[in-house]
Amino acid sequence: MADVREHWIASIPGDGIGIEVIEQAHRVLKQLEKLSKTFKLHIDTFNWSSNDYLKTGEYIPADGLKTLKKYDAILFGAVGSPDVPDHISLWGLILPIRKMFNQYVNLRPIRVLPGLSSPLKHIDAQDLDWVIVRENSEGEYAGQGGTTHDDTPYTIANEVAVFTRQGIERTIRFAFDTASSRPRKHLTLVTKSNAQRHGLVLWDKIFYEVAAEYPDVKTDKMLVDAMTVRMVLKPSTLDTIVATNLHGDILSDLAAALSGSIGVAPSSNLNPTREFPSMFEPIHGSAPDIAGLGVANPVGTFWSVAEMLKWLGEQEAGEKLMKGIEKVTESGFKTKDIGGNADMVTVTEALLRELEN
């Protein structure tokens, strides 16, 4: 069995519906492993959650990141709890992983899956086929800033967005590579360099420098506000999109909504140098209002798993999974958010059966 490839996966279900969708993802991964026979998966689960934080004051134990570092990939559910302020939970769990492992690209493919429909009139499903390349390590999420004169009438708080040439350039290069690998070879830069005169102007400048090295990629440039208009009114004019951390965050949620539901969209937090593990997570959150009810949409997590498998070199399994997901949504095994009435386990089991075929 010398040619069986082995992959070590750290699984972090987190909070709320993260816990249940990750459980379904494990079932799917085991099925794929069983069917393939050419790879073996070692999945270790880390139950780091807001409950832990409330008990211990920490999300990630002292040696946690060191432990994670040894894995080939991280599968993440969701974090967020009504009992912990969001800025504590996110800076306690998800943001440190993105930053420590230099996952500087957040890659978000958006398509209208078969059986789903866009809330937009007048578009065909194939009009909306985008990849958003979001800078994932700095910018508006740099974590700098602070508050002065707290609890006085003169309180002042700053958020400092930090943009570095290397941080911008590596993301833009990744975006050009992505665009160049897609049939339409088109890349749209999003900034707000009219109002934000420093970091965003630097984005524009580096974008055009790098563009010169990719003569095969057609480019254009949008302001983030006008970009939302184009996404809604002219979706077919877009292909690959590159944006800052915050702009990419906003635009990818909008994109997911325009594709039918935020419940199906995946995201890959990539360390393209492969020095550290990359992390795969659905773009939806922990949805405390429906947690534990078994009605969460597992498709965003399954699609993230497909992306993870491809990243790990298991192209065939990743594609098989993606085809399976599409068959399942097409056949009407859909949760309520995408117009069906199946529960989470029914969708998962439809997928497991589909994978057997």
Ligand X SMILES: CC(C)[C@H](C(=O)O)[C@@H](O)C(=O)O
H/E segment holding residue 177: helix 165-180
5, 71 in Cβ contact below 8 A?
no
**Radius of gyration in angstroms for the set of CA atoms belonging to the chain, rounded to a whole number:** 20
**What's the closest the beta carbon of residue 343 comes to a second copy, in angstroms?**
21
| Residue ranges that bind a second copy, judged by CB under 8 A | 80, 85-87, 89-91, 95, 117, 119-122, 140-141, 143, 145-147, 152-166, 192-202, 223-226, 228-229, 232-233, 246, 249-250, 252-254, 256-258, 261-262, 285
Nearest to 109 by CA among 349, 286, 295, 310: 310
Q: What are the tokens at 58?
A: 């920490």
**What's the closest the beta carbon of residue 111 comes to a second copy, in angstroms?**
16
Measured from the CB atom, is 143 or 313 closer to a second copy?
143
Measured from the CB atom, is 40 or 198 closer to a second copy?
198
Within residues 227-286, the interface with ligand X by CB under 6 A covers: 249, 283
Q: What are the tokens at 295?
A: 């009605």
Measured from the CB atom, is 12 or 90 closer to ligand X?
90
Report if residue 194 touches ligand X, rule: CB under 6 A.
yes
164, 136 in Cβ contact below 8 A?
no
CA 294 from centre of chain: 22
**What's the closest the beta carbon of residue 114 comes to a second copy, in angstroms?**
18
**Binding mask of the shown chain, residues 26 to 65, with x at each position contacting ligand X by CB under 6 A:** ----------------------------------------
Please name the amino acid found at residue 35: L
Report if residue 315 touches ligand X, rule: CB under 6 A.
no
Distances (CA, A) of 8 to 36, 53, 148, 209, 274: 16, 26, 45, 39, 14
Report if residue 225 touches ligand X, rule: CB under 6 A.
yes
Count of residues interacting with ligand X (CB under 6 A): 7
Distances (CA, A) of 189 to 139, 201, 211: 15, 12, 11
**What's the closest the beta carbon of residue 267 comes to a second copy, in angstroms?**
12
Binding site for ligand X (CB under 6 A): 90, 94, 194-195, 225, 249, 283
